[in-house]
Amino acid sequence: MNTIAENVQAVRARIAQAAARAGRDPAGVRLVAASKMNGPDRVREAVLAGVDACGENRVQEFLEKNGANAYAGSPVHFIGHLQKNKVRFVVGAVDLIHSVDSVELMERIHRQAQALGVVQDVLLEVNIAGEASKSGVSPQDLPVLLEAAASFPGLRVKGLMAIPPMEEKTGENRRYFAGMRQLSVDIRQKKYDNVSMTELSMGMSGDFEEAVEEGATLVRLGTAIFGPRNYGKQEGPRDGFVG
Ligand SMILES: *Cc1c(COP(=O)(O)O)cnc(C)c1O
């Protein structure tokens, strides 16, 4: 069994190798520890091991861990589905919201940010595989959100995020990652107001190397850092391990 620190080190090496294969600088890939189901102590361990940011899925978990000072100064990203009635807990409290997928949500974030006098960085979540069960905007509807960004100075669109299907065979998601990269290139050429395409959040424990090869700037890793999640109880095992 490996420690969280050993897992982070191993993951960094794999990111560096994938970046090298694509002729990319590994410094252009930031490691986000997707820490759902892991308590404050394990999150702090990941921060000490040098992850670039902590990712939280659920507002309640974020508030609990933030209250316990789990992030210890590390940037925090909100990566899960954000309900409109929870926007006020997140805006201004996290560095980046990865999962914006409607104009209504953009407007809520904008209004809350303006009330606080801040500008909230966000990514637009794209349902790149067209899965009925997943949140995210379809590539066809994405221009509506991109156009709307100009009317919401309380936020800044910094890029795109995707959660493709779980891979059954290695390499299956590469076409989705390549599709995301192409989307971001096309959007950059169109020069929407209040939209930059500096970030591509894609790649999880099962497929992050493909994502890095296709241009990911943020990979969101849970299992590869913390070990398998134990949905039976709040704290996972003391040591994470790569399954
Ligand atoms: C849980 C989660 C991850 C990490 O998943 P792993 O497969 O454990 O790496 C990444 N992104 C989001 C949005 C998640 O909810």
For 161-200, the DSSP string reads EE-PPPPSSTTTTHHHHHHHHHHHHHHHHH--TTEEEEEE
| Residue tagged 């990652």 (tokens) | 177
Q: Percent of the chain beyond pLDDT 70?
A: 94
Mean pLDDT of 211-229: 97
**pLDDT beyond 80 at 242:** no
In the chain, pLDDT over 90 holds for what percent of residues?
Answer: 89
Tell me the two tokens of residue 27: 């410094």
Q: Which of 31, 36, 220, 230 to mutate to test the pocket of ligand 1 (most atoms within 8 A of CB)?
A: 220
The CA-atom distances, in angstroms, between 95 and each of 16, 20, 110, 130, 170 are 25, 28, 14, 28, 32
**Considering only CA atoms, which of 142, 68, 73, 58 is closest in space to residue 101?**
142
Q: What is the per-residue pLDDT across 84-131, written as a single tens digit (0 to 9) for each?
A: 999 999 999 999 999 999 999 999 999 999 999 999 999 999 999 999
Q: Whose CA is nearest to atom 7 of ligand 1?
A: 205
Q: Give the span between the Cα atoms of 211 and 5, in whole angstroms.
A: 22
Q: Tens digits of per-residue pLDDT, 14-50?
A: 999 999 999 999 999 999 999 999 999 999 999 999 9
Residue nearest to atom 6 of ligand 1 (CA): 222
Range 4-225 classified under CATH 3.10.20.520 = no
- Sole residue written with tokens 């805006």: 91
Give residue ranges with CB within 6 A of ligand 1.
34, 36, 57, 79-80, 163, 204-206, 220-224
Strand partners, 124: 100, 160
Q: Residue ranges of the domains in the chain?
A: 4-225
